[in-house]
Amino acid sequence: MKSSIPGAGFPAASLLAALTLAGMANAAAVAVPVVPAAPVLPALAPATITVASFPDLDRAVKTALPLWEKLYPQVKVKLVSLQIDDHHNSMTTALAAGARLPDVMAIDFRYVGSFAESKGMEDLLQAPYGAGQYRDRFVPFTFVQATSSRGTLGAMPADLGPGTLFYRKDLMDKAGIKEAELTASWESYIAAGKKLKAATGTYLLAGASDLADIVIRANLKDGEGIYFGDKGQVLVDSPRFVKAFELAKAARVAGIDARTVAWTGEWAEGFKRDKVASQMMGSWLSGHLAKWLAPESKGQWRVANLPAGALASYGGSFYGIPKKAANKAQAWEFIKFMTVNKDIQLHSLKEIGAFPALKAAYADPMMDEPQAYFGGQKTRLLARETAAKIPVIRVDKFDAVARDIVNMELESVLAQDKDIKTALADAKALITHRARR
Amino acid sequence: MSAPSASLAQGASAPARPAKRRFDRKKWAPYIFISPFFILFAVFSLFPLLFSIYLSFNQWEAASGVEAMQWVGLDNYKYALSDPWFLRSLGNTVWLALASGVPQHLVAIPLAAFIHNSFKRSRNLVIGIYFLPFITSSVAIAMVFNTLFSRDYGQINVLLEWCASLPLVGGLFPAESIDWLGSSLFIKPAVAFVIFWRYLGWNLVLYLSALQVIPKDLYEAATIDGASTRQQFWYITLPQLRPMIYLAVTLTIMGNLQLFEEPFVLVAESSGVSQSVMTTAIFVYKTAFSSGDFGTASAISWLLFLIIASTTWVNNRIFSRNERREAK
């Protein structure tokens, strides 16, 4: 199917009108592209499509709906949202039973490998979709993440998470730590942590495992996998993992990590009570920090590149169509609306901090906007720069299993002084056993 | 009213057919009335049961639909039994079952006797207070205990810190905050405590109901004979409670070997220490939904079933042997 959406977006006039009509805040801030010549919207049959999503991604859909309804009044959207793990479990069950499937399925990057491998999803590269024509418009690694070993495309990328170091400027100033000390190397990062702990009693890291996690996934070469090689060989005893484990251990020994696990109450309290001074994560964490994790410390946070020039991808969201969906034509149009449309992508960035996967959005003046939460820093430029450099990483359907096993072995290293080599050898044996199929 | 005579009359004028129909209706009515249960049972219990047996002999990536099933025979069972995490999960389950189950009964029996004897009017209120955790949502419990167990901000550590600052006995308490839910050493006892706390009230109610049917004459006779309260507890209450102890212990064995909720909601799945409280039921869930291996998950469920059935059987033997011995 040839897309009737010109360029990257929809008619600018109608977009602007709809945004204004919908009463969205700062609608005028959304860039207005040059008005394309008489765009023709595809004629869609009336239907109600179901979009299954999860928080906070569902807000991206919710806020884009007024415009969708303006463009396609005959296609109603029913948004169903569950907590992230529940959503993916329920989608797995629905795919297994081949019943009660939504028309559009949102997929988080952690699950995109196994969903793309599943034979229950439409191959979006095939007719009538022909998503291949959009490939060059996206940051390269996002398309690869949603591509199965059979070469099918299970989902379209919506947003991504360039790895970013968030840190508290006020606390660093108090300890006399410069940004360069945090980012020069992993060793200097740990040294800065010690200095910070001594001067302010604050932890630099929420958890030492965060550090290991980013070293594991950083600086991979194009085409390399995180846990598995191209022939399915398990890579967890490679120098990359040894280094990651050693650094995490060094951070634990130095006493600079608060020993909390991301997304737990204790972790959130760490930010609220100024006990944790930095966090490495996808750029989308900015939305969470400003909204609920640390709204009080507005203006004190800054962003920087990851230490030691590390480049890593943290998260991302995708939209796919199940084979047994009832309204595929409308669903595909909706997916294009959410992903190929520059203005909607920018809108999601503004609303939920979801960084666009679509390159056209990167040229927008919105990227230059200073962020009040980050003391006027132009944080999006940094995320843009990182996104462009992130290598194309191979995903494997056993990535989640491998991650679980590596986490457990890391914990034995950190808490029970297990030897690193032995821990990684054990992890390798267990992952090999699990990935037997 | 003469239904029989009417049917006889009808039978005489129009032989067999209407009489037979009425006869059929009467015969089938009870089955039709009772059928909703059997239909629901077949759809929601029997079918999943049979399907999971079938599934345990198949390799199935659920997201690819029913067509993707592949028969692998006993491979899933062999694979599960050779998986170190399965064996570890069994160890965890047994540990948690014992650490939370045994104290439940050791505390519930004397507590029930105490409440039975000491509280008259306010008894129901006291029972209600103990029973409350049992009917509370596990998510609410998780939130409360996460806050209490928190290393830096939790009330338990605040209390311990205060105790450690006491002049004479301070040395008995830990000087540093304990990472209850974050260290592999403390996580198991912490989770076991929550389970104990939650199901104590349930056992208490069982024992209280049993206490109420023990004939009062026994105690009166014992009092006349000069038996002390403790002797009455050992020689009357405990033996009379035996059938209920058997039932309550059986329920605890079955429940505790299927533990899922408490460790699942209390401990962040992504943390390395979550393995220390990963019960077999959680492992089944992880195998199915994280690894996408529904066949192996079914096989593990059936292995767990065999373990529960045999443990219950052993429990039954122990109780019935004791009973036989006493009968002699």
Which one, of A246, A289, A176, lies nearest residue A421 by Cα? A246
CA dihedral B280, B284, B287, B288 (to 10 degrees): -170
Q: How far is B62 from chain A (nearest CA, A)?
A: 5
CB A53 within 8 A of CB A80: yes
pLDDT tens string B21-62: 556 778 888 899 999 999 999 999 999 999 999 999 998 877
CA angle, residues A387, A389, A393, in degrees to nearest 5 = 90
Beta-carbon contacts of B166 under 8 Å, excluding residues fewer than 6 positions away, are B173
pLDDT of residue B220: 93
Which own/partner contact pairs does A221-224 have at CB distance under 8 Å and 24+ positions apart? Answer: A221/A391, A222/A391, A222/A392, A223/A392, A223/A394, A224/A391, A224/A393, A224/A394
**pTM of the prediction?**
0.81
Across all residues in chain B, what is the average pLDDT?
87
The nearest CA of chain A is from the CA of B226 a distance in Å of: 58
Phi and psi (nearest 5°) for B181?
-100, 5
Report yes or no: A341 and A10 within 8 Å, Cβ to Cβ: yes
Write down the pLDDT at residue B23.
65
- What mean pLDDT value characterizes chain A? 86
CA distance A364 to A356: 11
A404 interaction partners in chain B (CB closer than 8 Å): 270, 286, 290
Read off the pLDDT of each residue in A158-162 and give the average, rounded to a whole number. Answer: 91
Q: Which residue has the tokens 């890593």?
A: A312
Label the pairing between strands A47-53 and A313-320. unpaired
Report CB contact under 8 Å: A95, B82.
no
Residue B324 has pLDDT above 80, yes or no: no
Average pLDDT estimate for B165-190: 85
Three-class DSSP category at B103: helix
User: Could you tell me which of A304, A312, A278, A311 has the C-alpha nearest to residue A192?
Assistant: A278
- Inspect the interface and report whether the beta carbons of B272 and A209 lie closer than 8 Å: yes
pLDDT at B22: 57
Q: For residue B96, how far is the Cα from the chain centroid?
A: 13
- Tell me how far apart the alpha carbons of residues B79 and A158 are, in angstroms, rounded to a whole number: 38
User: pLDDT per residue over A289-332, tens digit each?
Assistant: 998 899 999 999 999 999 999 988 888 899 999 999 999 999 99
The minimal CB distance from B65 to the residues A119, A260, A407 is found for A119
- Between chains, do B291 and A430 touch, taking CB under 8 Å as contact? no
Residue type, A406: V
Pairing mode of beta strands A104-108, A301-304: unpaired
What residues of B are in the A interface, CB distance below 8 Å?
A: 59-68, 79, 82-85, 143, 146-147, 150-153, 179, 182-184, 268, 270-275, 286, 289-294
Distance from CA of A136 to the nearest CA of B (A): 29
pLDDT confidence of B178, banded at 50, 70, 90? Answer: confident
Question: pLDDT band for position B174 (50/70/90)?
Answer: confident
Distance of alpha carbon A362 from alpha carbon A303, whole angstroms? 18
CA separation for the pair B160, B170 (Å, rounded): 9
Dump pLDDT digits (tens) for A179-235.
999 999 999 999 999 999 999 999 999 999 999 998 998 878 777 888 998 788 899
Residue B311 binned pLDDT confidence (cut-offs 50, 70, 90):
very high
Q: Locate B274 and state its tokens.
A: 């979550």
The mean pLDDT of A59-74, rounded to a whole number, is 91
Confidence of residue A34 (pLDDT cuts 50, 70, 90): very low
Q: What is the mean pLDDT of residues A328-347?
A: 93
Q: Can you give the C-alpha Rg of chain B in angstroms?
A: 28
Q: Tokens 């920090």, residue? A: A289
Give mean pLDDT, residues B158-167.
88
The set of residues, in sequence order, having a beta carbon less than 8 Å from that of B147 and lying 6+ positions away, is: A265, B153, B154, B155
CB atoms closer than 10 angstroms to residue B37: 9
Nearest to B270 among A266, A407, A412 (CB): A407
Pairwise pLDDT comparison (A18 vs A269), residue with the higher score: A269
The confidence score (pLDDT) of residue A79 equals: 95
CA A144 to chain centre: 14
Q: Which helix (H) or strand (E) holds B128?
A: helix B123-135
Comparing A240-249, A353-362, B107-116, B317-326, which segment has the lowest mean pLDDT?
Answer: B317-326
Contact A171, A200 (CB under 8 A): yes
For the record, the structure tokens of B112 come out as: 């029930």
What pLDDT score does B328 carry?
64
Average pLDDT for A72-83: 94
In this model, does residue A382 exceed pLDDT 80? yes
Note whether B272 contacts A434, CB cutoff 8 Å.
Answer: no
| pLDDT over threshold 60, residue A6 | no
Residue with the larger pLDDT of the pair A9 and A134: A134
Tell me what the mean pLDDT of segment A106-133 comes to: 90
The pLDDT > 90 percentage for chain B reads 55
CA distance A324 to A363: 38
d(CA A291, CA A280) in angstroms, rounded, equals 18
Choose from B149, B152, B294 for mutation: most chain A CBs within 10 A: B152
> What is the structure's pLDDT at B139?
84
Residues of chain A with Cβ-Cβ distance to B64 below 8 Å are 95, 117-120
SS (H, E, C) chain A: CCCCCCCCCCCHHHHHHHHHHCCCCCHHHCCCCCCCCCCCCCCCCCEEEEEEECCCHHHHHHHHHHHHHHHCCCEEEEEEECCHHHHHHHHHHHHHHCCCCCCEEEEEHHHHHHHHHCCCECCCCCCCCCHHHHHHHECHHHHHHCECCCCCECCEEEEEEEEEEEEEHHHHHHHCCCHHHHHCCHHHHHHHHHHHHHHHCCECECCHHHHHHHHHHCCCCCCCECCECCCCCECCCCHHHHHHHHHHHHHHHHCCECCCCCCCHHHHHHHHCCCECEEEEECCHHHHHHHHHCHHHCCCEEEECCHHHCCCEEEEEEEECECCCCCHHHHHHHHHHHHCCHHHHHHHHHHHCCEECEHHHHHCHHHHCCEHHHCCECHHHHHHHHHHHCCCCECCCCHHHHHHHHHHHHHHHHHHCCCHHHHHHHHHHHHHHHCCC
**Record: contact A119-B68, CB cut-off 8 A:** yes
Question: Is the Cβ pair B61, A411 closer than 8 Å?
Answer: no
Q: Is the pLDDT of residue A38 over 80?
A: no
- Per-residue pLDDT of B206-249, as tens digits, reads 999 999 999 999 999 999 999 998 899 999 999 999 999 999 99
Largest CA distance in chain B: 104
Q: Which pLDDT score is estimated for B1?
A: 38
pLDDT of res. B153 = 79
Minimal Cα–Cα distance from A97 to chain B, Å? 6
Interchain contact, B291 vs A434, CB within 8 Å: yes
pLDDT at B5: 44
pLDDT at A386 over 80: yes
Q: Cα distance from B181 to chain A (closest Cα, Å)?
A: 10
CB-nearest to B63 from A92, A209, A265 is: A92
How close is the nearest chain B Cα to the Cα of A55, in Å?
18
pLDDT digits (tens, 9 = 90+) for A242-260: 999 999 999 999 999 998 8
What pLDDT sits at residue A397?
78
Residue-wise over A82-94: b if at least 16 C-beta within 10 A, else e? bebeebbbbbbbb
Give every CB contact of residue A46 below 8 A, 6+ residues apart in sequence: A74, A75
